[in-house]
Chains A and B, each alone.
Chain A
Amino acid sequence: MPYNGQEDIGMDVTENSKTVDINGTDQSKIRNFCIIAHIDHGKSTLADRIIEHTGLLTSREMQAQVLDNMDLERERGITIKAQAVRTVYRAQDGEEYILNLIDTPGHVDFNYEVSRSLAACDGAVLVVDAAQGIEAQTLANVYLALDHDLDVFPVINKIDLPSAEPQRVIEEIEDVIGLEAQDAPLISAKNGIGIEEVLEQIVRKIPAPKGDPAAPLQALIFDSVYDSYKGVVVFCRIMEGTVRKGTVIRMMATGAREEVVEVGYFGAGCFFPCEELSAGMVGYIMASIKNVKDTQVGDTVTDDARPCAQPLPGYKKVQSMVYCGMYPADGAKYPDLRDALEKLKLNDASLNYEPETSVALGFGFRCGFLGLLHLEVIQERLEREYNLDLVTTAPGVVYKVYKTNGQVIELTNPSNLPDPSEIERMEEPVVSAEIMVTSEFIGSIMELCQERRGRYLGMEYIEASRALLRYELPLNEIIYDFFDALKSRSRGYASFDYDIKGYEESKLVKLDILINKEEVDALSFIVHADSAYERGRRMCEKLKDEIPRHLFEIPIQAAVGGKVIARETVKAMRKDVLAKCYGGDITRKKKLLEKQKEGKKRMRQIGNVEVPQKAFMSVLKLDDK
């Protein structure tokens, strides 16, 4: 029974699956690796081919992309939750090798997860598109892999594209990254060309794991999922020691302690229990743990009775970088939203939420996410899987507010900003960004970064026609639409990657929106003082289009500190008449009226103005022109 990612992690051992005598497996026959690539360069497809080629599943059983379990991931063409698969490969030397492929998320929101997945590997296959060459994420991922001392070898994918230039890309890899690439396999993952060579190189070039099975247990958690029957399933790489059923384990950072009820390894889409996991292996542990909060990615699992001397390096507590308010469109659904968030949280340690109340939107939650993609994924899951109609307020970052009384507030909701007189200074998160762009667009991309308050750090040419721009950018300038703006200003050629750098002082103000003279808390946002006017003006324009006409004129104002800086007016309704009634066809006309009435239901009452729910997301679309 395939494991579908959300429920029913069935323990059915697939009857016709290959059984591998995992116990006593020679470490030298194990390869733990990941595939790294820029988005769309073919990582998931190569993973599928590898699984197919090693014969664990028949082609018929293959879903289009075995590793991407969630629907959402498939639609977006990215992988969100790290997972792993174990396959068996009989190499040309006649030996059977166990290949543990650990999948890594391909989005900057999940950089920390990526780093933990990499730490679980001994090597990485770098996939580069034969037509596009190196992109920003290629570099970022390679550097991340090298930082973790992984042996990286390149693979040139999509060689069957008419625009493929493998030789140019090989040279680029050697020049820019400094990786030996002359013998890189030239493959087409899509069409199954060259997969065998990739597998051979995995065996040859990626080192076997090390570690002493007899040492105290030290295992790295690189992912965990919650199952309603089994509790949390911890995905880990055993660095030292051995774990088996009955071992009482302890998570070194969170302190959670449980007895192991089962260990095993990953088939493609299913779980195979086994006797024990020992140093060098990748597998899962189940221990009746109730919450993924207790099994944080990056934490170290050890034997409670015989703990290792110290945890593995690199653990960080996951922090939400982006916050927004989520409210049920129908106030009566508040308990449903709460239950849904609770359930999602079981499986997603990086999701935070706490109840909040808005004058405009009623009861809801302030939710914290790793980034905007994470936010969108959660939002979509709430809407799709839990059938909730949501009103989401503009996402914002976490600001640090230093008050004159010495207090420091981490501000996640603009409405909670103290009075300016009580604020000594404010800080906002800043990222270091790398943008790869062809030379013709350098100008427009620099302009974009400038507009977004970027600080230019430098530029280097990767090759004659492409450059890598380095900028420091405030996070709140890039969370909504920076990526889209980047794409549109470079005709899709620019690629982008970033790392959170830290907090910096900034001149920030709260921009308030008044509809018909009434301040709407859910529309307030924090903005740099210099862009307040521009953002306020566009916000008013946007809202003017979103708010339907009423019987009276409605002023829409943007204000900073009580001072109005921009204004638009929704004119009073003038005409709303039915057309000629055709042959007494009343039913049709009634349907029209019903539609109109239905539309009103999806409105929020603010004072005596009805505001459509999507207006609360207006701020996200300020750059649509």
Chain B
Amino acid sequence: MPLGAETLLWVLVRCSGLPNRQKAEWRHKEQRKGKGASEPQREQWGRGMGAETTEGKELELYFHIPFCVRKCLYCDFLSAYGDEDTKAAYMEALLAETAGSAVSYGRRRITSVFIGGGTPSAVPVRYMERLMEAVRKHYSLTEDAEVTMEVNPGTVSGEALRRCRRAGINRLSIGLQSARAEELALLGRIHTWEQFRECYRAAREAGFTNLNVDIMSALPGQTLSAYRETLEKVLSLETPPEHISAYSLILEEGTPFFEKYQAGELEAVDEDEDRAMYQETKRVLGQHGYHRYEISNYALRGRECRHNCGYWRRKDYLGLGIGAASLVENVRFRNGRELVPYLKDPLGQREELHALTTQEQMEEFMFLGLRMTEGVDGAEFRRLFGCGLEEVFGPVVRKNIRDGLLRELPEGAEGSEPGLQYGSQAAKRDSGSSGRFALTDRGLDLSNYVMAQFLL
């Protein structure tokens, strides 16, 4: 099945014409395959961690599809243009990795699947069907599993969406980013608002009842009223989305945007304006029944993205495809970012294996959990680590409460967020204070500042 490397054309083109730093990096890294791990070790990761003891335990799957029609100017994810042969070879490798990983993980209960990228919809739909088929065949996918695929509105037909739905994909995450033509052009997006609306309607018609739309604020030159236009257009869609991810643009090093910014060609949005957009997001979406359950994520009750919550709640997840990260039984590892070695040996690319120490688990518990507005649960902490949250983080907790960045939620607060399936309502707690801590609105704005303090 693996094709010879010479027949593979991994065409990496940045439409901007800027030198492609990633490309150089990927090629270079081809030589350091297996670095940091001996063959037997990698063999071990390929087969999985502690497979025997975890039968029936929940696991989320993430599939990385690193292809795009073209790279957006702000994007620093692992993605690039790929020709059809490359896509085909990659998908075969991904299917092989999926089947091969089942040796270790096949008996886990798969509660969520997320097909992300890149642009999964840039790959022929038959591969999505085969991928879902492979998941069903080799793993035990639960009845009510959330199965999400990311979609670029410029890449899908109604037919393709219907086939995806039939294949078992039940949630789409559609990258809109902006409803304004000039902003879409600035971002280097390949679609228009009209194409998005078309795609959205097609998704509904195909039977998708759980949709997310990605939008972005703090775009260079964006004003509050321009941003409001995007928000309003999204909310006025016929059957508005169940979920909205609203990110504030971050200039990531190595992207054309970053370079333009450094060269003074882009003007970053003024901080006050940026915060005003953030507040506006919360206000407007709130009026329409969305609640902010995570720093950048809003959903109707019960429509929170289960997969993402899994990341913040430190559920086990297995990442498949190049660059994909995994957390299994408190061991983090990831696949290498190189395409060619992956195509040759899809199961042999796991690297950066790191068994988290208890201390690191505690840190993660805090800095990941605090991304959620329902916060972190002291009782859960005690159940996991055998000691009180305040024994470990007392001074930091108190300092941040004093600074108005953190608060202890009132008793029974989690009840007000019934949709969250990933809380730990089961955990009993002492009467009186809830033992549950969450960031305040200001704390959410300054989450890095707060979270850095939770590193021990």
Contact with B along A593-619 (1 / 0, CB 8 A): 110110010000000000000000000
In the complex, what residues of B have CB within 8 A of residue A577's CB?
248, 250, 295-296, 444-448
Given the contacts A583-B323, A585-B325, A573 and B449 also touching, CB distance less than 8 Å = yes
Binds A, one of B47-55, B271-279, B410-418: B271-279
A-contacting residues, B345-398, CB 8 Å: 352, 354, 363-364, 367-368, 371
CA–CA, A575 to B449, complex, Å? Answer: 9
CA–CA, A407 to B455, complex, Å? Answer: 55
Interface size class for chain A? 20 to 34
CA–CA, A593 to B332, complex, Å? Answer: 17
**B311 part of interface (Cβ distance < 8 Å):** yes
In the complex, what residues of B have CB within 8 A of residue A575's CB?
248, 271, 274-275, 278, 445-446
Q: Is A551 within 8 A of B405, CB to CB?
A: yes
In the complex, what residues of A have CB within 8 A of residue B229's CB?
none
Q: Is B446 within 8 A of A586, CB to CB?
A: no
Q: Identify which of A574, A578, A584 contacts B311 (C-beta below 8 A).
A: A584
Q: Identify which of A582, A586, A596 contacts B327 (C-beta below 8 A).
A: A586
Q: Is A576 within 8 A of B447, CB to CB?
A: yes
How far, in Å, is A285 (CB) from chain B's closest CB? 59
Residue of B nearest to A577 (CB): B447
Query: What are 7 contact pairs spanning A and B, CB under 8 A?
Result: A575-B275, A577-B295, A577-B446, A592-B448, A593-B448, A596-B448, A596-B452
Q: Is A597 within 8 A of B248, CB to CB?
A: no
Given the contacts A582-B77, A585-B325, A587-B354, A593 and B248 also touching, CB distance less than 8 Å = no
**B319 part of interface (Cβ distance < 8 Å):** yes
In the complex, what residues of A have CB within 8 A of residue B247's CB?
579-580
Given the contacts A583-B324, A586-B364, A594-B455, A576 and B445 also touching, CB distance less than 8 Å = yes
CA–CA, A426 to B275, complex, Å? Answer: 52
Given the contacts A584-B327, A597-B455, A576 and B448 also touching, CB distance less than 8 Å = yes
Q: Is B446 within 8 A of A597, CB to CB?
A: no
**A464 part of interface (Cβ distance < 8 Å):** no
Tell me the dominant secondary structure on chain A's binding face. Answer: loop
New A-B contacts (13) at CB < 8 Å, excluding given A583-B323, A583-B324: A575-B248, A575-B446, A577-B446, A578-B371, A578-B447, A580-B247, A581-B308, A582-B77, A586-B368, A587-B332, A590-B367, A590-B455, A593-B448
Contact with A along B322-338 (1 / 0, CB 8 A): 01111100001010000
Q: Is A597 within 8 A of B452, CB to CB?
A: yes
Given the contacts A551-B403, A575-B274, A590-B364, A585 and B446 also touching, CB distance less than 8 Å = no
Residue of A nearest to B251 (CB): A579
In the complex, what residues of B have CB within 8 A of residue A574's CB?
271-272, 274-275, 445-446
Q: Is A583 within 8 A of B319, CB to CB?
A: yes
CA–CA, A582 to B274, complex, Å? Answer: 22
Q: Is B275 within 8 A of A600, CB to CB?
A: no
Residue of A nearest to B307 (CB): A584
How far, in Å, is B138 (CB) from chain A's closest CB? 21
CA–CA, A88 to B198, complex, Å? Answer: 92
Residue of B nearest to A585 (CB): B325
Q: Identify which of B311, B444, B455 contacts A593 (C-beta below 8 A).
A: B455
Task: Name B's A-contacting residues (CB within 8 A).
Answer: 62, 64, 77-78, 116, 245, 247-248, 250, 252, 271-272, 274-275, 278, 295-296, 308, 311, 317, 319, 323-327, 332, 334, 352, 354, 363-364, 367-368, 371, 403-405, 444-449, 451-453, 455
Given the contacts A574-B275, A578-B295, A593 and B451 also touching, CB distance less than 8 Å = yes
In the complex, what residues of A have CB within 8 A of residue B352's CB?
587
CA–CA, A174 to B289, complex, Å? Answer: 91
How far, in Å, is A587 (CB) from chain B's closest CB? 6
How far, in Å, is B318 (CB) from chain A's closest CB? 10
Given the contacts A575-B446, A576-B448, A597-B453, A584 and B319 also touching, CB distance less than 8 Å = yes
How far, in Å, is B321 (CB) from chain A's closest CB? 9
How far, in Å, is B305 (CB) from chain A's closest CB? 12
CA–CA, A579 to B448, complex, Å? Answer: 10
Q: Which of A577, A578, A586 has the most CB of B within 10 A?
A: A577
In the complex, what residues of B have CB within 8 A of residue A600's CB?
452
CA–CA, A577 to B297, complex, Å? Answer: 13
B-contacting residues, A548-571, CB 8 Å: 551
In the complex, what residues of B have CB within 8 A of residue A573's CB?
446, 449
Q: Is A584 within 8 A of B448, CB to CB?
A: no
Q: Which of B295, B308, B447, B449 has the most CB of A within 10 A?
A: B449
Q: Is B116 within 8 A of A583, CB to CB?
A: yes
Q: Is A580 within 8 A of B296, CB to CB?
A: yes
Task: List 4 A-B pairs, minimum CB-CB distance, nearest first.
Answer: A579-B250, A596-B452, A576-B448, A585-B325
CA–CA, A52 to B245, complex, Å? Answer: 73
Given the contacts A586-B327, A590-B367, A581 and B448 also touching, CB distance less than 8 Å = no
Q: Which of A575, A584, A594 has the most CB of B within 10 A?
A: A584
Residue of A nearest to B326 (CB): A584
In the complex, what residues of A have CB within 8 A of residue B327's CB?
584, 586
CA–CA, A580 to B446, complex, Å? Answer: 15
Q: Which of B77, B325, B368, B405 has the most CB of A within 10 A?
A: B325
Contact with B along A475-501 (1 / 0, CB 8 A): 000000000000000000000000000
Q: Which of A576, A579, A592, A593 has the most CB of B within 10 A?
A: A593
How far, in Å, is A465 (CB) from chain B's closest CB? 38
Q: Is A579 within 8 A of B252, CB to CB?
A: yes
CA–CA, A576 to B317, complex, Å? Answer: 27
Q: Identify which of A576, A579, A584 contacts B446 (C-beta below 8 A).
A: A576
CA–CA, A551 to B332, complex, Å? Answer: 34
Q: Is A593 within 8 A of B445, CB to CB?
A: no
In the complex, what residues of A have CB within 8 A of residue B78's CB?
582
In the complex, what residues of B have CB within 8 A of residue A594's CB?
452, 455
In the complex, what residues of B have CB within 8 A of residue A579's CB?
247, 250, 252
Q: Identify which of A576, A584, A593 contacts B367 (C-beta below 8 A).
A: A593
In the complex, what residues of A have CB within 8 A of residue B272's CB?
574
In the complex, what residues of A have CB within 8 A of residue B445's CB?
574-577
CA–CA, A578 to B368, complex, Å? Answer: 11
In the complex, what residues of A have CB within 8 A of residue B278's CB?
575
